[in-house]
Every structure is written in C-alpha cells, then in structure tokens.
Structure 1
Amino acid sequence: MSNYPQPNYGYSNQGLTSRGSQPSTSASTSTDQVAVQLGHPALEYEDGVSNLRQKVKLLKRMSNSIQEETSVRGKLIDSLSDGFDSATVNLKKAKKELEKVYKQAKAGHLLALMFFAVGLFLFLYMVYKANRFVRWFLPKGKRE
C-alpha cells in the first residue's frame, strides 16, 4: 500500500456518521448533521405519483386546448389570406375597368353618347307634342 493517509468518508466502525468521526446518536438541527425520517414510504410515493399524474393530465388538457386554439386560428388566418387574395384580384380588375372607362371618357365617347341621348329625348318629346297639337285641330270624331 501507499504511505499516504487514507481519507475518511464519514464511515467509522460504528456506522455512518455526519462528516466526522463521531457517530450521530440524535437528530439535531446542527448544520453538519443530516436527519432522515422514514415513515411510510409507499404512501408518500403513492401520493407523489397521484399528484404527478394529476399534473400530467392537466398539462395534457392544456396542450390539447392550445392545439385546438392554434388550429382554429390557423384556419382563420388561412381564410383571411384567401379573402385578401380574392380582394386583391377584384381590385386589379376594377382598376383595369376604371382605366378603360377613363380613356374612353377622355376620348370624348361619353360626351358624344350624352349628346345623342339628349337629342333623342328632344326628338321624341317634339313628336309627342306635335301629335297632341295635330289632334287638337282635328274634328272630334277623327281624333282617335
């Protein structure tokens, strides 16, 4: 063996001690002593396991509700995205139509159409008035 002293790990001839060579005979609150009380370990383990199971079940329910909420929000975001895409397409179509109408109005087509409509209205109005005027001078038997 070696000439070096062997370390003492808290063991003595009398059993386990608390870091010294003196065995502990009482459970005191000293900082260098450890007190272990063993009651009914099976009951303590069962209580701990049942508490742990309850907490695991709670976490599982919470994770399921989070997953459902995430799914609902994902579907909502997808529908909003689709709505925005269709709105963008419709706005582009409307813009093209407005540009087309603007170009036609700028070319004078709309103004010509307006004058034609007013002229047609005046012509029909004059025909109607002329017909009533002619009926006024006809004898009463020939008015119809």
Structure 2
Amino acid sequence: MRLLILPWLLFLLIESGHPQTSQPEQAQLILYREKEFISGMGKGYPFKINEEKMGKLSPNRYVQLAVNPGRIKLEFDSNYLSDSRPLWLRVQAGQTYYVKVVVEIDFLSTTIVMAPVDPQKAQQELSRMKPEYTQPIAKPD
C-alpha cells in the first residue's frame, strides 16, 4: 500500500510546485458605428470574427470584444442587397484596437466599409454612443 501512496504523494508535491499555465492575454477590439442619415434605417448588421458569428452592430452603437492575439478576419454578413469586404487585422495581446464601420448606400446596393481608427479620435466618437450588447450566436445542431 505504501508503494502506491508514496509515488502519488510525490506527484502531487511536484505538480503543486509548478506554476499553472494560464491562457494568453487577449487583445480588445472595439467595433463602432456612428449615426448615419438613412443608412439602413437603423438596421443592425450581423458580423463575424474569424468566420464565427458574434452578433450585430446598429447605428450609434459600439461593441467591445476580447480577441486572441494574431491575425483576425472581421467581416459583416452580406446578403443580395449588401456587400462587405473583410478587414484583416494583426492584434497583439494587451492592446486595444478601434474599427469604425460605415454603411454606404447607393441606388440599389449597400456597402459596409471598415477601417482602423486612431485611439484618440475613436474615443471622442465613442463618447456619444451606447454599447450594443452582443453574445455569440448559437450554432444550430
């Protein structure tokens, strides 16, 4: 019996001495959209990060999301009346990135344009906005 307990106690002692590995620090992504004249009549557009549906973004709203460091692909879901080109960002742990979204309406189509924004300018624009509460959309079974 002692032969079984001794190795087990030794294992527990060794494991408690090693620091636990934690998840890497994440980056913050703040996606925002100002008030727009007509632009979608207040419609919220769904968006994805790295092909994962994350929620929607309405006019005069912002979304703050934690993302893993590395290269991310940000895009809005398109339908037959709207077009969105993906925005690729390389994000670093512990940093905050601001992306402004603008909806441009043409005669028969809508284009969703995204661009990174300087933090000072973004914070000024964000001061007039409300948060958009988003949660990852459940995947169908």
**Which has more radius of gyration?**
1
TM band (smaller chain): under 0.3
Higher helix share: 1
- TM-score (normalizing by structure 2): 0.20
Larger RCO: Structure 1 or Structure 2 (Cα < 8 Å, ≥ 6 residues apart)?
Answer: 2
